[in-house]
Amino acid sequence: MTETLTLRRPDDWHLHLRDGAMLAGVLPETARHFARAIIMPNLVPPVVTGAQAAGYRDRILAALPEGMTFEPLMTLYLTEETDPADVAAAAESKLVKAVKLYPAGATTNSASGVQDFDKVQGVLDQMAEIGLPLCVHGEVTDPAVDIFDREAVFIERVLDPVRRATPGLRVVMEHITTADGIDYVKSQDDMGGTITAHHLVINRNHILVGGIHPHYYCLPVAKREEHRQALVAAATSGDPHFFLGTDSAPHTDANKQSACGCAGCFTATNTMSVLAEVFEREDALDRLEGFTSLHGPAFYRLPANEDRITLEKGEPVSYPSHIAIGEGPVTVFDPGFPLHWRVVEA
């Protein structure tokens, strides 16, 4: 039985770092294992222009502890006022690697998102021309649509029409949670899909059975067990359409455990251990490197990392239950089972 596993250093193709004290507190948890990450732009106010992305990148690098290496891959938040020329300039400068689409109101800090897609067609056309990917939060926000159906309806109402209207647009469907999303991405050219560690582990029962468990509440919300199984099958299949995007999303416990708790699971600390456990169960440890370290760079047309990390299997790993932030503690995701794999060299 494999007791050690060496991989190219992984990347995270969907990460929330926030700003200020929260950024300083959580950044080391990602930089410890991951070489690069696609940084989400949903700050308050959002990162809309190239100049704002440059400023945010500078703040991230300033918060990086001495001795750690990490490259933030910046994104722009798509609004109905986004300037196609600014997007093109930010991409040409190599600062920005993608543009993020949030349907208005879909998740945390998404109020500035898109409602009328005709108003962003010029930006999408420009992105298709220069090959800049569009990262989509794949949920509709129509109150008539059940929250567990929002991803499937998004594909029908938004994603497929956008792709048909914009030939050549390269799209990443982020944090897929349904078999519908998996099937759609597999059927498309110039398309990728990210899958989180927590959606490989939890289904909607984990959130609701035996009481409300706020630290399992995320958006898109976890779905039925059959959908979790479809995600595991896709992630461990070796299909290059799919790669890791943790959607690690820190909130203080006070904000998670309030009367209107925030959505997000903070997984940066133990993602690699969780993934190794999941892949081992599927007899797919030989495919873990593709999912964490190869498929994402290939889609984004970037070189894979040359550095390596080594994981070792042994007695269960003891991770901290919380990360201390000046604003309050942030709970680390608990997969609900022992983790026997740990990163020993990075």
pTM as predicted: 0.96
Q: Among this protein's residues, is 247 annotated catalytic?
A: yes
Domains of the chain: 4-345 (3.20.20.140)
For the record, the structure tokens of 1 come out as 């039985």
Ranges of H-type helices in the chain: 20-31, 50-63, 84-92, 121-130, 150-154, 160-165, 179-186, 204-208, 225-235, 253-256, 271-281, 288-289, 295-300
Distance CA 204, CA 127 (A): 36
Distance CA 190, CA 33 (A): 28
- DSSP helix, strand, coil percent of the chain (3-state; round to 5): 35, 20, 45
C-beta atoms surrounding 84 within 10 Å: 17
3-state secondary structure of 193: strand
Of residues 12, 86, 180, 247, which has the active-site annotation?
Answer: 247
pLDDT tens over the chain, length 346 residues: 559 999 999 999 999 999 999 999 999 999 999 999 999 999 999 999 999 999 999 999 999 999 999 999 999 999 999 999 999 999 999 999 999 999 876 666 566 778 888 899 999 999 999 999 999 999 998 999 999 999 999 999 999 999 999 999 999 999 999 999 999 999 999 999 999 999 999 999 999 999 999 999 999 999 999 999 999 999 999 999 999 999 999 999 999 999 999 999 999 999 999 999 999 999 999 999 999 999 999 999 999 999 999 999 999 999 999 999 989 999 999 999 999 999 998 7
